[in-house]
Amino acid sequence: MKITDSVLRSFRVARTFRENSQKVNCVDYNSNGESAISSSDDDSIVLYDCQEGKPIRTLYSKKYGADLIRYTHGDANTVVYSSNKLDDTIRYLSLTDNKYIRYFPGHTDRVVALSMSPVDDTFISGSLDMTIRLWDLRSPNCQGLTNPLGKPVCSYDPEGLIFAAGVDSEAIKLYDLRSFDKGPFASFETLFSRVCEWTGLKFSRDGKQILISTNGGAIRILDAFNGSVLHTFSGYNNSKGISLEACFTPDSDFVMIGSEDGRVHVWSTESGMKIAVLDGKHSGPINTLQFNPKYMTFASACSNMAFWLPCVGD
C-alpha cells in the first residue's frame, strides 16, 4: 500500500493505551518496525509489540528519569536515553535483563537532542551546555566534541555521513563526520516570522529535506543541500509554547505534527498543502509523533499512547 492523501485522510486510532501517569516525552520504532518504545515524565519506559498491537513490558528509571529514548542501530533489545532528573549522563540499557550496559558522562547540562547513526554504533547528542558530542556504544568516552556556539538540536542524515545542527534557533550547520572537528562545511540561516525555539531537527529518509520542529505554531522544511525554505507549515494549535514533535512519513512525501488540542495535522511536502486533520481524541497535547518505518501505522502520544491504522474502504 502506498501512502497517499486519501490513505492518510483515512487514518483512525486503532488502539489507545493508558500506561502512563504523565506525558510521554518520546516514542521510537526499531528499524524493522515490529517494536516501539516510549519514555515518559513518570520515569517509565514502555515496550510495545507493534504486530500484536499491545504493551508487553514496563521498565522504570526512577532515579534518573527517562527522555529522548532511542533504539540502537539494528538492535531491538538495547536502547540509549537521556536523563531528565539527576544528571546529564546518557545511559545504554539492555531491555532483555533491564541492566545498564554503559554510561556516557560528559555533558554538563540537560541533553536536548539524541540521534543514532543509521549505519553503525555511533550516536550524537546535543545539550544545553552548548556542545554536540559524538559517542560510540562500545566506549564510555566521548569520541569527539564540537562547540556550535549556541543551543544545539542535531540529527544524522540517512546515510550516516553527515550530521546537521540547528543552532540557537536561527542557523543550520552541516558537519562531515570524518572531519567535524574542522567545523561545519555548510551553514545557512533561517528565521521564523514568529518568535519560537527550535526543538528538533530531522532529515527526510531520501536525505533531500530537513524538518525543523519548534515550540511555536510553525514548523519548516528546508532543502538539505542549499538551505532554501521549501515550506513553512502552521495553522495548528500551540499557544502554550510546548515542544511538539513533527515527523516525515517514510516516503518523505508528507509531514505530520500533533497539536495541543489532540489533533494530527498532515501536509504534502511537494505542494505544501494541508491534506488532513485527524482527531486522536487525546486528552492533552500530542508531544510526540512517529510514523512506523516499515508498516502503515503511526504512533501519537500525550500521556496516552495511540496507534493509528488506515481505514481504506470504509
Q: Give residue 152's pLDDT band: very low, low, confident or very high (50, 70, 90).
A: very high
Q: Give residue 275's pLDDT band: very low, low, confident or very high (50, 70, 90).
A: very high
Give yes or no for a contact between 209 and 203, defined as CB atoms under 8 angstroms apart: yes
d(C-alpha 263, C-alpha 119), whole Å: 34
Q: What is the mean pLDDT of residues 283-303?
A: 94
Single-letter amino acid code for the residue at 6:
S
pLDDT above 70 for 158? yes
Give pTM, 2 decimals.
0.93
Q: Give residue 75's pLDDT band: very low, low, confident or very high (50, 70, 90).
A: confident
| CA-wise closest residue to 201 among 125, 149, 273 | 125
d(C-alpha 314, C-alpha 311), whole Å: 6
> Which of 79-88, 159-168, 276-285 is least confident?
79-88
Q: What is the pLDDT of residue 62?
A: 86
Domains contained in the chain, number: 1
**Which DSSP letter does residue 180 get?**
G
d(C-alpha 151, C-alpha 129), whole Å: 7
Q: What is the pLDDT of residue 312?
A: 75
Q: What is the pLDDT of residue 181?
A: 86
Q: What is the mean pLDDT of residues 271-282?
A: 94
Burial of 159 (0-12, 13-18, 19+ CB in 10 A): exposed
d(C-alpha 314, C-alpha 302), whole Å: 27
CATH number at residue 296: 2.130.10.10
**C-alpha separations of 3 from 75, 87, 146, 164 in Å:** 27, 41, 38, 27
Question: What is the residue-wise DSSP string for 37-67?
Answer: EEEETTSEEEEEETTTTEEEEEEE-TTT--E
Give yes or no for a contact between 104 and 142, defined as CB atoms under 8 angstroms apart: yes
d(C-alpha 60, C-alpha 281), whole Å: 27
For residue 8, give the H/E element and its range. Answer: helix 5-9
Question: pLDDT of 221-231, one tens digit each?
Answer: 999 999 999 99
pLDDT over 70 percentage in the chain: 99
Beta-bridge mates of residue 307: 15, 299
Q: What is the mean pLDDT of residues 207-214?
A: 96
Give yes or no for a contact between 21 and 314, defined as CB atoms under 8 angstroms apart: no
Give the domain extent around 272. Answer: 5-310
pLDDT above 90 for 191? no
Q: What is the mean pLDDT of residues 275-294?
A: 93
Q: Give residue 84's pLDDT band: very low, low, confident or very high (50, 70, 90).
A: confident
Q: What is the pLDDT of residue 314?
A: 53
Q: What is the pLDDT of residue 74?
A: 82
Q: Give residue 245's pLDDT band: very low, low, confident or very high (50, 70, 90).
A: very high
Question: pLDDT of 86-132, one tens digit each?
Answer: 789 999 999 999 999 999 999 999 999 999 999 999 999 999 999 99
Q: How many CB atoms lie within 10 A of CB 97?
A: 8
- Residue 108 three-state SS: coil
Q: What rounded mean pLDDT belongs to the chain?
A: 93
d(C-alpha 55, C-alpha 121), whole Å: 27
Q: How many CB atoms lie within 10 A of CB 300?
A: 30
